[in-house]
Copies of this chain bind each other. A is one copy, B any other.
Amino acid sequence: MPTNSLSQHLPFGENKNAEWYGKDIISVKQFNRNDLEYIFGVAHEMRGMVERVGTFDLLKGKILANLFYEPSTRTSSSFTAAMERLGGSVIPINEVKYSSVSKGESLPDTIRTLECYADVIVLRHPETGSAAIAAKAAKKPVINAGDGVGEHPTQALLDVFTIYEELGAGQVDGMTVTMLGDLKYGRTVHSLARLLSMFTNIKLNYVSPEILRMPKEVMDEIGEKKVPQAEFDTLEKVLPETDVLYVTRVQKERFEDPVDYEKVKGAYVIDPDIMKSAKQEMIVMHPLPRVGEISTDFDDDPRAAYFRQMEYGLYVRMALLAMVLGKA
């Protein structure tokens, strides 16, 4: 194996004095800008290692309990791959019969059992706040892989890391980011907006149907950081100035009257024609899965960053796993 700084650890040594050793990753609210830059620095190093050697033994001998109370192929696979590319092992747990009211086991008991077997726990759970409950029960680090409409911090981190990598290190500052689609219910856009507000000279545009506007509480929070925000109902005016177009899905079920949905849906579909008015140096992102809101005709455009975004998710998760296990 090529020499590299990451792999020069003792096989079973870990730096228990490292700032992130043993910490939980529960919410984007726990990070400041320095944290983000540290995480992205490690994630960037992970990217370099994966590109050079594919897999390396930084976490050899470590075990991840990948605990999914609801299916999420994408996130589950990404954490599994992250652990495996670091030489660690995974206990896949997808079949948890969960009920907070019936005879099922409580989440804290399940967590306290799993930490007998594993070194780190990744948790996906349908109930808001469950990641914090799990972290409180566990002595070992817990990483939140989505808890209901609550948080999904690794998604938010990978979104910002995508901008960081795609548009050049440090280039998060000064970006004009346009969020498109369902901004009301989209957990990812709320977290993304919060994280972006930590950078300087950010401008945020929100393009959505009237009934799916960015919630006032999020806008107020962002506004306190003096980040300029503007709302639109069509993309037309803001696309030319956009550095990052973050597309989300507008779900038909959000509309009381299907006619209203039919009226607006066309305004939120990205295709090569619409993208003619966008810059050449910009990126289109999407948390995936998509269902028609970005035309597959656009996939081969170099600005289509949504599959690369998945790959950046791998590096962010590798970084977090290494950090909380005292290896980065």
Partner-B contacts on A (CB < 8 A): 1, 11-12, 52-56, 60-63, 65, 71, 73-74, 76-78, 80-81, 84-85, 89, 91-97, 103-106, 108-110, 112-114, 116-119, 288-291, 296, 307-308, 310-311, 313-314
Contacts and interface: CB of A to CB of B under 8 A. Distances in A.
A76 B1 CA distance: 31
B81 A118 contact: yes
Contacts of A89: 55, 84
Contacts of A92: 80, 92
Nearest to A72: B95
Contact of A289 (B12, B105, B307): B105
Contact of A84 (B1, B52, B53, B63): B63
B1 A117 contact: no
Contacts of A103: 291
Contacts of A60: 55
Nearest to A12: B53
A11 B87 CA distance: 13
B109 A288 contact: yes
Contacts of A311: 116-117
Contacts of A65: 77
A108 B61 contact: no
A131 B12 CA distance: 37
A116 B307 contact: yes
Q: 8 tightest A-B contacts by CB?
A: A55-B61, A81-B117, A105-B289, A116-B311, A84-B89, A116-B310, A71-B95, A80-B91
Given A71-B95, A113-B288, A81 B105 contact: no
A74 B89 CA distance: 17
Contacts of A314: 116-117
Given A76-B93, A113-B307, 10 more contacts: A1-B11, A55-B60, A55-B62, A77-B114, A77-B117, A78-B117, A108-B296, A113-B288, A116-B314, A117-B314
Interface centre among A11, A84, A308 (most CB of B within 10 A): A84
A103 B117 CA distance: 37
A53 to B, nearest CB: 5
Contacts of A74: 113
Nearest to A83: B89
A105 B291 contact: yes
A80 B91 CA distance: 6
A99 to B, nearest CB: 11
20 contacts: A1-B12, A11-B53, A12-B53, A54-B62, A54-B119, A55-B61, A55-B62, A55-B89, A63-B84, A73-B93, A73-B110, A76-B93, A77-B113, A81-B118, A94-B94, A105-B288, A116-B307, A116-B308, A116-B311, A117-B310
A63 B19 CA distance: 31
Contact of A63 (B11, B55, B56, B96): B55
A118 B78 CA distance: 9
